[in-house]
């Protein structure tokens, strides 16, 4: 009877040990799975914010960041500057050399932007061959200097392609505050004024520039 009881207890203990080990393994697996899910969710959210070709912010994320910076500028009484530019002769290149070559140019421009702007500045692909840079707590003078550096970087990265760019700058200040849509329209209009002159031209939006109604 003693041997039988001992054998039974040993058997029961071994089962309980196995249950504990299984429970620990399950808890460990669950924690690991939660980490994987968290990382994948974070990655998917980040991918949803980015343009698939250039890895710059997409248009939706651009507007989200611009609205955030304009609100922050209002609260802290500082200016927010927007640079808006597009590529001259891009359609001609796309038509003559193909979309693959066009995509290579867009990626080269995006890389030139990333290597030129500061960490606090925000680069985005607005759409097509149009790009934007948000400059928090900045000035027109600082934006013009950045535009000059961007022009040089883009010229170097697209050398031989015949591509140039036209840049428009607009600013929202505490005294003259604009919402995101109006600031984009002002920068866009300044950019179109720049396109009337030879490539790599920079224009600043006039404070009294008329913006057509949507």
Residues 53 and 111: beta-carbon distance below 8 Å: no
The span from the CA of 82 to the CA of 25, in Å, is 53
Neighbouring CB atoms inside 10 A of 164's CB total: 17
The span from the CA of 175 to the CA of 73, in Å, is 11
Active site residue 206: no
The span from the CA of 8 to the CA of 38, in Å, is 45
Tokens of 201: 């031209």
The span from the CA of 114 to the CA of 116, in Å, is 6
Collapsing DSSP to helix, strand or coil, 169 comes out as strand
Neighbouring CB atoms inside 10 A of 6's CB total: 10
Residues ≥6 apart with Cβ < 8 Å to 192? 166, 168
Catalytic residue among 129, 179, 188, 206: 129
Collapsing DSSP to helix, strand or coil, 130 comes out as strand
Helices (H), 117-165: 140-157
Helix (H) or strand (E) holding 173: none
Which active-site residues does the annotation give? 129
């Amino acid at each position: 009877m003693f041997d039988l009881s001992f054998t039974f207890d040993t058997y029961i203990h071994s089962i309980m040990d196995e249950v504990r080990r299984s429970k620990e393994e399950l808890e460990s697996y669950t924690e690991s799975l939660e980490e994987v899910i968290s990382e994948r969710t974070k990655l998917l959210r980040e991918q949803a914010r980015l343009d698939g070709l250039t890895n710059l912010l997409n248009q939706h994320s651009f507007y989200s960041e611009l609205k955030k910076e304009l609100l922050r500028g209002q609260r802290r009484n500082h200016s927010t500057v927007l640079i808006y530019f597009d590529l001259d002769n891009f359609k001609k290149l796309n038509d003559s050399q193909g979309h693959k070559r066009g995509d290579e140019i867009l990626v080269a421009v995006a890389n030139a932007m990333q290597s030129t702007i500061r960490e606090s500045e925000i680069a985005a692909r607005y759409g097509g061959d149009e790009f934007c840079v948000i400059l928090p707590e900045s000035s027109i003078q600082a934006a013009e200097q950045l535009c000059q550096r961007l022009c040089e970087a883009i010229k170097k990265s697209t050398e031989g392609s015949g591509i140039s760019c036209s840049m428009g700058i607009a600013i929202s200040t505490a005294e003259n505050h604009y919402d995101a849509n109006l600031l984009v329209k002002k920068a866009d209009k300044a950019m179109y004024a720049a396109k009337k002159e030879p490539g790599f031209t920079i224009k600043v939006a006039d404070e009294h520039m008329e913006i057509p109604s949507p």
